[in-house]
Structure 1
Amino acid sequence: MEVEIAAKPTKSFKAGKVIRDEHLTWSGQGTAKPGEARVTLQIPEGKLQDAGKVRWRSRVADSSGGWTRWQDLTIQQQQSAQTPTKEEPVDGPLPSRGPETKQKATRTGAPTASLAESPLAGTQAVQSFNYDRIDKQGDCQLSREESIATWRWIKNSFNVCFTGRIGETLVENDLPTGIAWSARVSIVVHTYVGHSAGTADPTAARGEAGIHSRQMKVWIKIDQFYPHGFPEAAGRPVSIRLSNSGGCFADKQKITEDIGDWIRGADRLITLTSPKDWFPAPDYKGFCGIKPSVYYPETDDINKRLGWLSPDRVEFRCDSSPRILNHTGGCVVWSSRPVWHLDGNRAQTPDPVTGKMTGVDQTAAHIWKALYEPDDTVPLSPVRKRIPGRYSENDPGCASENNRCLTRAEGDRSDPDTVPGQNDIARKKVCKLAPIPSGLQKPSCDEYPFASTYEGAASAGYNISVAIVECRDNNTAGGLLNGWYDRERILEKDPFWVDATKKGETPPEDVPPPDIAQVDTSGFGASCR
């Protein structure tokens, strides 16, 4: 076994270009003893620092496969029960109202991390649904560079955070004195999904007691307070508002406290609710947006009393679709559309009939080629191909007509009156053009864009790709896609992105590993098209 540990990559700007710096901290090898399945490696003292954030990956030294994906790791030294740890404040740049706000939207697949009861306190609990939570104040706060006044991070469909520096400047005789107090604010939003239909309380939120699946929790924390000589700074009132839109209601419209009270005690909490009966059947879809702000009621200049933590509203979509049986009701981020990612490095499993080890590497390679080398795919086109679905980091919400998401088409592909059925009919004609590779035990024609989208073969023209792959490889990938539709609540005409990683290559860092425990692939491969 070979293991590498590296510092988390940093980005800097030089000569108008983004420079990416990656530093290997340590690497080592170990061999398991006969009869043992575990390899233990000792990292030399001093290589890792307490509270440091690093990444690690591994591979079997004699394996033909590549490295595993990079995994994030936070180093924590063991603490005595009698010696609690204490965060040492680090003063950041002085805040102002109306600073530049930067945004980050992470490409998301199906996550693996567990839920925290209080995301700003860092407590964790084991959950049956992996939301990949923003579960510590560092997750949100440390993602912001100190030079950026305010920061918004859409981590995935179930987590959003806002963080930044706030404060007021002392003004005397209509002139700023340069004396100002400052503090740090963090706001973390969690959305939820329900339980399987038929359970005792299917609409109860998975992983959070006392609320239902169409509710969202918003935790607010203010810390790192610095008076900086501002008279009676701890007594200055500060109000945090979500400014939620009409598709939901909040149990508190705002929370106003003196800054000295804000920095003491537990995180403040606001709960948002999107009532099912507000919206029409059958899916009961409702949209709820928030645009958090900081309000300083005692600032003399009324034009400087309000400061936004986000340049625009973050939208959420709640639904109670009867077609999502495993997660009854739920809310997801709508402003940034999720990415279905197929990793060709996914662990192989034995075919129940032939015993041959199969994965999804053939289907992943085909999708990758369709997205990144479309002109080399079947069918050949007399004009340049433009196959849709490839993720655009400049347009995560798929708002521009220049960036083409895929859009879900529900229905049975065996029914010719449905969009999937029409796609399947058109696909069969194109599949006759694809060469059949040697060595396949049960060939199957894979098409991209998927039959379950409006961009499929029936309307694609030349903007489609087909390839002959192993049957079980193809069907396993299809099963993973259908499971992902369910957990990400992708309904009729909902847009989404697609990406793929070829076997032996490393997936993008911001794509979590597939949550294979929630998708049963045991029956895939029983029939092929």
Structure 2
Amino acid sequence: MLVLVAGLATAGPAGATAPSQLLPATTAALAPEEDDLRTECATHKEANTRKGWIKNRFESCVHQPVYLKLIDDKKRLRGELWFDLWILGFTYDGSRRVDYTSSIENINAKAVAGENPATWKIDQNFSHSINASASGPNPKMIKPAVTNRSETIAQWKAKPFWQLKYTSPDTGKLDAANTQIVSGMVSLEMRVSSPTAVPWSDPVMAYSSVRFDYAGPTAGKFKGTVFTEARVELVMSLKDPAVNESARHILDAQTLPERTFPSFPGKSVPGGSTPLHRLIDKDKQEKNRDAAIATCKDVWGDYSGTKLQCDEYPFASTKEGAAAPGKRFSARLIDGTDNETGGRRLNEMFTLNRILDGDAFYVKITP
């Protein structure tokens, strides 16, 4: 639980139980997909952070139980306030848009004698910024008509939820040289005020990083929006007969790199604990494949006429492929059908997550 005193966040009182922990959340104003995300979010401790829990590239959630002391200019306690902050975020594959549902719920106030909590106000102010260096030419974001609420406890209790929609305009034309990327951040500032207390505020109570693009078929649908801080993983299983050889090769490369080819002391292969990055350039992809095939032929000789193919990891469609400096790759002959299925799984992951050139992702092998 966050404890906020005169603008400072500290650890909660030992053994303290806030009223917000005792009351059920109010979800009557939520759509089914929001309610589902909220239920799952409540189980993740990452939700109680400024960044929140990012489920995937299209869903995120902040849930902060907050405890606040109101102090006057003579350092005297005027009252205590508890509430739950929720922010549910949704981006879309097919639309340059991000939606947020914000709410303040389970509000409880405790005032000293003579203090009137009915006069206390809770403010939420959303704002956005654009990272021009990570965006294309003339990046723009369009904010909602209303980005601020400043209301009493009674007003928040009567209407705890409100929605905000941010969009980014596009030309409607596909241009490989300009994917119309807009890299932005949406932030929440909060403030609590009383006529008798020093106002408390937090300039960045919560935030989310988003990206709008018009990248076309390489990313799936022609346009879309994603939460850029989501961890994206390609998952393969050793028990999946369709890709078990690909999965074994990747696991060996990640965990036993010196036993893979090319073999040399101190070899390490990325993708498990450090990310891989997508590569779109077809010529560079071919150079990666050529380097891997040369290794396969050097180790196993001529394999033409067999059902085997040279499988490379990291993949040819990554910047860490076989032609990258350092030879941090592995090449191995595996069943051709298995290899091709693994390639399709990789491309599906790219499109389902709108992975663009240079975007990071990880590879996880399960038993």
Structure 2 contact 70–198 (Cα < 8 Å) conserved? no
Could you list the per-position Cα deviations for residues 328-370 of structure 1 after superposition, in whole angstroms to 9, with x for gaps in the alignment? 3111111344222222334xxxxxxxxxxx4111101111111
- Cα 1:308–1:279 shift into 2, 3 Å: farther
Task: Report the TM-score when normalising by structure 2.
Answer: 0.79
Shift, 1:489, TM fit: 1.2
1:429 aligns with 2:294: yes
Instruction: Give the counterpart of 2:244 among 353, 361, 365.
Output: 361
Q: Which has the higher strand share?
A: 2
Could you list the per-position Cα deviations for residues 81-134 of structure 1 after superposition, in whole angstroms to 9, with x for gaps in the alignment? xxxxxxxxxxx6754444269xxxxxxxxxxxxxxxx98855436xxxxxxx77
- Cα 1:94–1:149 shift into 2, 3 Å: farther
1:171 aligns with 2:53: no
Shift, 1:493, TM fit: 2.2
Hey, what does 2:141 align to over in structure 1?
A: 248
Q: What is the CA RMSD across the aligned residues, in angstroms?
A: 3.3
Q: Distance in 1 between matches of 2:193 and 2:39?
A: 29
Could you list the per-position Cα deviations for residues 458-497 of structure 1 after superposition, in whole angstroms to 9, with x for gaps in the alignment? 1244311112211111111110100111121112222222
* Secondary structure at the counterpart of residue 216 of structure 2: coil
- Cα 1:384–1:170 shift into 2, 3 Å: closer
Hey, what does 1:238 align to over in structure 2?
A: 122
Shift, 1:405, TM fit: 2.5
Instruction: Give the counterpart of 1:386 among 250, 268, 275.
Output: 268
Shift, 1:217, TM fit: 0.5
**Structure 2 residue ranges without an equivalent (≥5):** 12-25, 131-139
Q: Distance in 2 between matches of 1:453 and 1:286?
A: 23
* Secondary structure at the counterpart of residue 135 of structure 1: helix
Q: Distance in 1 between matches of 2:56 and 2:27?
A: 15
* Secondary structure at the counterpart of residue 244 of structure 1: strand
Structure 2 contact 3–66 (Cα < 8 Å) conserved? yes
The AA in structure 2 aligned to 1:446 is: D
Q: Distance in 1 between matches of 2:143 and 2:310?
A: 50
Instruction: Give the counterpart of 2:254 among 371, 378, 390.
Output: 371
* Secondary structure at the counterpart of residue 184 of structure 2: strand
Could you list the per-position Cα deviations for residues 264-300 of structure 1 after superposition, in whole angstroms to 9, with x for gaps in the alignment? 2362101111222499943111111122221225476
Structure 1 contact 151–164 (Cα < 8 Å) conserved? no
Q: Which has the higher helix share?
A: 2
Q: Distance in 1 between matches of 2:93 and 2:61?
A: 19
Hey, what does 2:165 align to over in structure 1?
A: 271
Could you list the per-position Cα deviations for residues 50-90 of structure 1 after superposition, in whole angstroms to 9, with x for gaps in the alignment? xxxxxxxxxxxxxxxxxxxxxxxxxxxxxxxxxxxxxxxxx
1:305 aligns with 2:201: yes
Hey, what does 2:317 align to over in structure 1?
A: 452
* Secondary structure at the counterpart of residue 111 of structure 2: coil
Q: Distance in 2 between matches of 1:420 and 1:232?
A: 68
Q: Distance in 2 between matches of 1:172 and 1:314?
A: 33
Hey, what does 2:87 align to over in structure 1?
A: 187
Shift, 1:234, TM fit: 4.2
Instruction: Give the counterpart of 2:32 among 110, 120, 124.
Output: 124
Structure with higher RCO (Cα < 8 A, 6+ apart): 2
Shift, 1:191, TM fit: 0.5
1:408 aligns with 2:278: yes
The AA in structure 2 aligned to 1:171 is: I
**Structure 1 residue ranges without an equivalent (≥5):** 1-91, 102-117, 126-132, 195-212, 347-357, 392-403, 413-417, 506-529
Instruction: Give the counterpart of 1:139 among 30, 36, 40.
Output: 40
Task: Report the TM-score when normalising by structure 1.
Answer: 0.57
